[in-house]
Chain A
Amino acid sequence: MALITTTKGEMDDSLLEKREGSVDNDNELTRWVEYWLDGELVHRSVHVHLKKNVLADGVAAMIG
């Protein structure tokens, strides 16, 4: 039993339907969790783990 922050305030998770999912691709690993109450989304949290970066390649050409 745990309390979940929802659009209706703190609620016991036993009263809610929990849905989870994830996406894993070259750019990110993303996990999300949702809690629903009588067909209404009352909580959604997301954790995105970035895999890609931005690269300044050939800096010499930019400056020289």
Chain B
Amino acid sequence: MANTQAMCTSFKTELLTATHNFGTAPTRGTGTADTFYGALYLASATLNASTTAYTATGEVSGPGYSAGGIAVTNATPPTSSGTTAYWTPSASLVYTGVTLTTAFDTVLIYNQTQSNKAVSVHTFGSQTITAGTFILTMPANTNTTALLRLA
């Protein structure tokens, strides 16, 4: 037998559930999952890995769309397979009855419960919506395709 240097896979999963806290904040008072939102952004916006929180700057606007976007369905807790921890929203993001005439190409997933802190930025081909519905379907929730993966 030999020892092997590694980050424990269980720890990766626990990062996604805030089990470990190396700092001093935030203090968690409940055992319930946070509420995450998906907000849409114009193709002219500049969201990227440096984005730290939800911002109204560059967000789409138009009839039927509420600033901040819509809640993300989170019915499936993070898990792991192999050495990868992962999580995916458990349903598509559906923006119903909207008109968004300025091209948009990005969704920001953010944590509304934790001061709107940013989670991830996802881009797609530029779109507009006219009196219609925008559906954003997630990749399969597996260790190779999940929306968020810690490998």
Physical interaction between A and B? yes
Chain A CB within 8 A of B31 CB = no
Chain A residues closer than 8 Å to B127, beta-carbon distance: 30, 32, 46, 48
Chain B residue at smallest Cβ distance from A57: B151
Tell me whether B133 and A50 are in contact (CB under 8 A): no
Tell me whether B136 and A48 are in contact (CB under 8 A): yes
**Interface Cβ pair total, 8 Å cutoff:** 95
Q: Which residue, A42, A46, A55, A63, has most C-beta atoms of chain B within 10 A?
A: A46
- Determine chain B's interface SS by DSSP, over half rule: strand
Measured CA separation A3–B142 after assembly (Å): 38
Measured CA separation A28–B145 after assembly (Å): 12
Interface size class of A (residues with CB under 8 A): 20 to 34
Chain A CB within 8 A of B134 CB = yes
Spell out B's residues near A (CB within 8 Å). 6-7, 12, 15, 22, 88, 97, 99, 120-125, 127-139, 145-151
Across the A-B interface, give the 9 residue pairs with the lowest CB-CB distance, nearest first.
A45-B132, A44-B130, A60-B7, A49-B137, A47-B135, A55-B149, A45-B133, A56-B150, A46-B127
Spell out A's residues near B (CB within 8 Å). 5-7, 23, 27-28, 30, 32-34, 41-60, 63
